[in-house]
């Protein structure tokens, strides 16, 4: 049986919205929403919150979540997740098959997002990493640098990720589905460690997108389509939008 865990990397020092993991949304800190909703996935054996901040670690303990303290030197969520995975395996004395990195700023995620994106890795061990992608809703989102855009090949593997609008809407791109990356990324266990050992790359740094490290080193990233109403929270404006959507959210009463 495949053993899969979720790891939520979270830190207080967000450049665009400092302290955002603990910013309350409908009375629950953002990282709490991500944790409770991830726990509802049928595909995960356990969910952990990985952080370098005592405040987040203490909050995790307060809601009964398993917290993992990591170094404060990580620049990328993937690097924090890899360190956390090693510590988790040491704690439980059991090896994981699939580690799902779940970004802590996706408070509207639904469990099916995790179930769908993890499926290709369970079905084919040659697929070492996958991402969700969802259609962008309008031109404003296509031009928003906080939205990570992706273009794929005919087999659904990523060709490129960018914060710029790709494909170009000025050159007929509107006829091609405009897709954004969602922050739920499963790795085959050993490949997450491989990722951690790869040297950072120029495009990864320029775009500030982890997955470009893999493309530059010649690896494939499987993209899984999902019709999502989830929003990543990067700004105060995003926060206000999510707060309004959360008021009538059907999963909110299910938190335990």
Mean pLDDT of 245-256: 90
Mean pLDDT of 50-69: 97
238 inside domain: no
Residue-wise pLDDT for 64-104, tens only, equals 999 999 999 887 888 899 999 999 999 999 999 999 999 99
Residue 99: domain span: 4-228
Q: Is 29 helix (H, G, I), strand (E, B) or coil?
A: strand
Do the Cβ atoms of 216 and 205 come closer than 8 Å?
Answer: no
* pLDDT(149) > 90: yes
Percentage above 70 pLDDT, the chain:
97
Tokens of 201: 């790359």
* pLDDT(2) > 90: no
Residue-wise pLDDT for 201-226, tens only, equals 999 999 999 999 999 999 999 999 99
Furthest C-alpha separation in the chain: 54
* pLDDT(256) > 70: yes
Do the Cβ atoms of 105 and 20 come closer than 8 Å?
Answer: yes
* pLDDT(174) > 70: no
* pLDDT(175) > 70: no
Q: Could you give the number of structural domains in the chain?
A: 1
Q: Which helix (H) or strand (E) holds 162?
A: strand 158-162
24 inside domain: yes
254 inside domain: no
193 inside domain: yes
Strand pairing report for 149-152 and 179-182: antiparallel
When pLDDT is cut at 50, 70 and 90, the band that residue 229 belongs to is: confident
CA–CA dist 171, 83 (Å, integer): 43
252 inside domain: no
HSE-up of residue 249 (Cα within 13 Å, Cβ side): 22
236 inside domain: no
250 inside domain: no
When pLDDT is cut at 50, 70 and 90, the band that residue 176 belongs to is: confident
In this prediction, residue 150 carries a pLDDT of 97
CA–CA dist 149, 230 (Å, integer): 15
pTM of this prediction exceeds 0.85: yes
* pLDDT(232) > 90: no
* pLDDT(241) > 60: yes
Tokens of 108: 């509207």
In this prediction, residue 243 carries a pLDDT of 92
Strand pairing report for 46-51 and 66-69: parallel
- For residue 83, what is the domain's CATH number? 3.90.550.10
* pLDDT(172) > 70: no
256 inside domain: no
In this prediction, residue 140 carries a pLDDT of 85
By the 10 Å C-beta count (0-12 exposed, 13-18 middle, 19+ buried), 185 is classed as buried
Residue, of 156 and 232, whose pLDDT is higher: 156
Residue, of 16 and 71, whose pLDDT is higher: 71
* pLDDT(169) > 80: no
Peptide bond into 33 cis (omega under 30): no
Residue-wise pLDDT for 151-167, tens only, equals 999 999 999 999 999 98
CA–CA dist 127, 232 (Å, integer): 26
CA–CA dist 63, 108 (Å, integer): 19
Tokens of 223: 């993209």
Judged by average pLDDT, the poorest of 37-41, 132-136, 169-173, 199-203 is 169-173
């Amino acid at each position: 049986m495949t053993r899969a865990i979720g790891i939520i990397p979270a830190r207080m020092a967000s450049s665009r919205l400092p302290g955002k993991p603990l910013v309350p949304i409908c009375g629950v800190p953002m990282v709490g929403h991500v944790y409770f909703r991830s726990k509802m996935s049928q595909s995960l054996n356990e969910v952990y919150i990985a952080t370098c901040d005592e405040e987040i670690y203490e909050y995790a303990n307060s809601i009964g979540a398993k917290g993992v303290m990591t170094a404060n030197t990580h620049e990328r969520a993937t690097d924090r997740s890899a360190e956390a995975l090693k510590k988790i395996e040491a704690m439980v004395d059991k090896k994981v098959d699939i580690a799902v990195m779940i970004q802590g700023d996706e408070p509207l995620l639904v469990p099916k997002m995790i179930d769908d994106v993890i499926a290709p890795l369970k079905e084919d061990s040659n697929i070492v990493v996958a991402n969700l992608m969802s259609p962008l809703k309008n031109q404003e989102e296509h031009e928003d640098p906080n939205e990570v855009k992706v273009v794929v090949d005919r087999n659904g593997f990523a060709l490129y990720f960018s914060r710029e609008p790709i494909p170009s809407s000025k050159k007929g791109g509107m006829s091609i589905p405009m897709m954004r990356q969602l922050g739920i990324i499963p790795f085959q266990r050993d490949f997450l460690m491989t990722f951690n050992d790869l040297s950072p790359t120029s495009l990864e740094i320029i775009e500030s997108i982890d997955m470009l490290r893999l493309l530059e080193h010649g690896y494939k990233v499987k993209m899984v389509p999902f019709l999502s109403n989830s929003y990543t929270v990067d700004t105060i404006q995003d926060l206000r939008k999510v707060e309004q959507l959360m008021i009538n959210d059907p999963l909110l009463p299910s938190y335990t």
